[in-house]
C-alpha cells in the first residue's frame, strides 16, 4: 500500500484505489488462480524500448494450463487468446470496451484507468469520471464486460508487463470502420472493441472517434 499512497500524493486530482479495495467491485473482481508458471512466463516477455506494444496471442502463454482454466472458469467455455500489453504508457489517451470479460495480470505491477459503462453517453465521457486502480504484482483480475479501460500505466521506471486474456478474435482488424455511423457502431474500431479517444491522442490522429473531454490524464510517478 506504500506505493499506492505515494501515487496518490503525486496525482492528487485522480482517484486511486487498489483492486482489492471494495471500490473495484463495480469494475471487476480479483481471481484466485495458481500463477507461479505465469509469473515466470510474463517476466520473460520483452518490454519495448519506448511506448506500448500489444500482442494478442503468444504461444508461450497459451501453452500454459492456466489458459484452459480461465476459458472454463471465467469465460464459460469460450475459446480464449492470451497475449500481452507491455510498455511504458502513462497517459489515458483512449478508452475501449469489449462484450466479454478481460483478464489481466502483471509481474511488475501497474495502474489501470477505468470508467463505468453508465458514464459513457453516446460515445462521450468526461475524463473526470475516470478512476485509477493499482494492480499489484502477482494479483490476477477480471474486468467485467463493457467496463471502459485501455493500455495500463507504468508504476516503475522500467515499465510494465500485462497479461491480456480475451475471447478469441478480439482486437482483430475490421474490414471497415465508420466513425460517423449511428449509435455505438461509430465506436467499433476492431473486432469486439469499441473505442472512444481524447483529441490529443495518437488514436485521434489515426481517425478514431473523439469522445473524451477534459484533461488527457497523465499518471505521474512518485
- HEC per residue, 2-50: HHHHHHHHHCCCCCEEECCCHHHCCCEEEECCCCHHHHHHHHHCCCCCC
- Could you tell me if residue 3 is left (phi over 0), alpha (psi between -120 and 50 degrees) or otherwise beta? alpha
Q: Is residue 149 part of a domain?
A: yes
**Predicted confidence band of residue 30 (pLDDT cuts 50, 70, 90):** very high
Whichever domain contains 192, its CATH number is 2.60.120
Whether this prediction's pTM lies above 0.85 is answered by: yes
Task: Specify if 126 maps to a domain.
Answer: yes
Q: Is residue 219 part of a domain?
A: no
Q: Is residue 218 part of a domain?
A: no
Please report, to the nearest 10 degrees, the dihedral formed by the alpha carbons of residues 119, 144, 18, 212 taken in order.
Answer: -30
d(CA 115, CA 125): 9
- Residue ranges of alpha helices (H) inside the chain are 2-10, 36-44, 59-62, 65-73, 202-205
Does residue 138 lie within any of the structural domains?
Answer: yes
Q: Reply yes or no on whether the pLDDT at 1 is more than 80.
A: no
Cell of 74: 471465467
- Residue-level pLDDT at 86: 98
Would you say residue 221 lies in a domain?
A: no
Domain that holds residue 54: 2-213
Digit-coded pLDDT (tens) for 51-109? 999 999 999 999 999 999 999 999 999 999 999 999 999 999 999 999 999 999 999 99
Our count of domains for the chain comes to: 1
Whether residue 73 lies inside any domain: the answer is yes
User: What separation in angstroms does the CA of 103 have from each of 26, 39, 98?
Assistant: 15, 14, 12
* Local confidence band at 110 (pLDDT 50, 70, 90 cut-offs): very high
Is the Cα torsion angle 133, 108, 3, 12 positive or negative in sign? negative
Residue 17 lies in a domain: yes
Q: Which residues pair with 140 in a beta bridge?
A: 31, 105
Amino acid at each position: 500500500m506504500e506505493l499506492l499512497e505515494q501515487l496518490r500524493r503525486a496525482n492528487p486530482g485522480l482517484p486511486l484505489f487498489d483492486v482489492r479495495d471494495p471500490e473495484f467491485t463495480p469494475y471487476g473482481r480479483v481471481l484466485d488462480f495458481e500463477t507461479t508458471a505465469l509469473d515466470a512466463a510474463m517476466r520473460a516477455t520483452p518490454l519495448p524500448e519506448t511506448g506500448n506494444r500489444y500482442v494478442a496471442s503468444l504461444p508461450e502463454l497459451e501453452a500454459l494450463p492456466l489458459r484452459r482454466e480461465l476459458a472454463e472458469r471465467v469465460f464459460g467455455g469460450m475459446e480464449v487468446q492470451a497475449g500481452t500489453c507491455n510498455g511504458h504508457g502513462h497517459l489515458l489517451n483512449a478508452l475501449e470496451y469489449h462484450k466479454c470479460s478481460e483478464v489481466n495480470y502483471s509481474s511488475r505491477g501497474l495502474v489501470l484507468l477505468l470508467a463505468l459503462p453508465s458514464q459513457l453517453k453516446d460515445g462521450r465521457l468526461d475524463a473526470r469520471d475516470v478512476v485509477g486502480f493499482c494492480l499489484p504484482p502477482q494479483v490476477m483480475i477480471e474486468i467485467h464486460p463493457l467496463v471502459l479501460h485501455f493500455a495500463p500505466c507504468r508504476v516503475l521506471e522500467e515499465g510494465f508487463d500485462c497479461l491480456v486474456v480475451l475471447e478469441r478474435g478480439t482486437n482483430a482488424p475490421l474490414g471497415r470502420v465508420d466513425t460517423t455511423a449511428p449509435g455505438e457502431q461509430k465506436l467499433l474500431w476492431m473486432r469486439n472493441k469499441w473505442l472512444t479517444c481524447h483529441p490529443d491522442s495518437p488514436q485521434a490522429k489515426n481517425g478514431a472517434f473523439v469522445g473524451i473531454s477534459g484533461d488527457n490524464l497523465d499518471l505521474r510517478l512518485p
